[in-house]
Structures are given as C-alpha cells and as structure tokens.
Amino acid sequence: MTERKTLPDVPEPAAPLPKRHHKMLGLLFRFVREIIILAVLMVIGLVAIKWWNSKDLLPTDGTLVEPFLIRTPDGVGKSIADFRGKAVLLHFWAPWCGVCKMEVRQLNSLHDDLPANAALVAVALDGSPEEVAAFVKAEGVRYPVYLGDDQVGRQMQIRQFPTTYVLNRQGRIIDRDAGWSPAWNYRRMLTGVE
C-alpha cells in the first residue's frame, strides 16, 4: 500500500492593511519628516547665531595680539606675552555668567589633557577678585584664572561672555569663538597649532 502524502498547510495570503493602518503610517512618515526639517532648521539657526556672535571679534588672519597685563586673584601680574612659545586658548569669562559656569567641567578636562606646549588662560573681565576667587572655589576650577580690566576687554573686542581666542606660538590669533562651545570644539581649535 502506498502512503498518501499531504501537502503542508499553505498560509493564506495576508489581507491588505486596513485603511486606518495606512493613515497611521502616513502620519508617522509626516511626523518623522517634520522632526528632520526641525532639526535641520535648528542647526542652521545655531550656525547663524555662532556667526553673528563672532562677527565683531578680532580677525583670525594671524593678527598679533599686543601684550596686555593680567593678574591672578591674589594680585600677581603676568603679561599675555609670557605665554609665547605655547598654543594658547585665551578664554574670557565672568563669574556671573551662567554659560561660563556650565563650561567649567569641560575646561577642567581640557586643561588636564593639555600638552606642555599649550596653555588654557582664563581671564575674568568682570567681578572683583573676591568674586572670582569664590567662583573658582565653588565651581572647582583647576585651570589658571586671571583678572583683566576694561582696557583688555576693549583691546580684545569682548562683547559677550564667554569669548575665546586661540593664539599660535607666536601670539597670533588663528581661531575664535563666542558663546557656549562644546569641549570637542575647544580641542579642535587647538589641534595642529603651530
């Protein structure tokens, strides 16, 4: 006797999606598209704000920074020219500046990782020596902090805090930034400084 073979059960073809599923997929695709458009517009807006904030700063064409005097909160004086021979991240800030406070942790990290031929020079252009010292203590600042005056602010065209310049080893401006900046941007600014 021969055994009878039966065919395996073949599933029935899937029924088309109900119209409500098509509508939900359409809404999902529109939502994703709008999120992407919003993200692109935000990036464009941030780039425009960065450009606007930086437009009145000193040029990055190798302009030599004329020496100016800064001092520690204890009153010890130093010239910016003393840093020649090093790549310098020259960071202007104020103790009342919320953005400056947000950047302390990343500037601490940057300072800790700097090679011997680079320096982070943070210059407070506002606040008393006592206010600056209190900020340094309260926020756990590990990088060198100096005090500047109105003349330094005018010379460096500081109009907002924070404002940062990168000086090459000859003391010439090669990069700049104004407003909050992520740690990777400060590292990028110092990369390959001659």
Helix, strand, coil % in the chain, rounded to nearest 5: 40, 20, 40
- Mean pLDDT, rounded, for 163-192: 92
Closest to 158 in 3D by CA, of 104, 93, 98 = 93
Q: C-alpha angle 142/128/173, rounded to 5°?
A: 60
* Token duo for residue 181: 């900046």
* Token duo for residue 187: 């590292």
Please determine, for residue 152, whether its predicted confidence score (pLDDT) is greater than 80: yes
Considering only 54-68, 140-154, 173-187, which range has the smallest mean pLDDT? 54-68
Distance of CA 138 to the CA centre of its chain: 22
CATH no., domain 69-190: 3.40.30.10
Give 64's DSSP letter: B
Average pLDDT, the chain: 88
The whole-number pLDDT of residue 39 equals 85
| Cβ(153)–Cβ(90) below 8 Å | no
Burial 100-121 (b: 16+ CB within 10 A, else e): beebbebbbebbeebeeebbbb
48 confidence band (pLDDT: 50, 70, 90): low
Closest to 182 in 3D by CA, of 110, 97, 78, 82 = 110
Query: Any idea where the domains of the chain sit in the sequence?
Result: 18-55, 69-190
Q: Determine the straight-line distance between the first and last CA of the chain, rounded to whole angstroms.
A: 93
65-92: per-residue pLDDT in tens? 999 999 998 899 999 999 999 999 999 9
* Token duo for residue 15: 């029924």
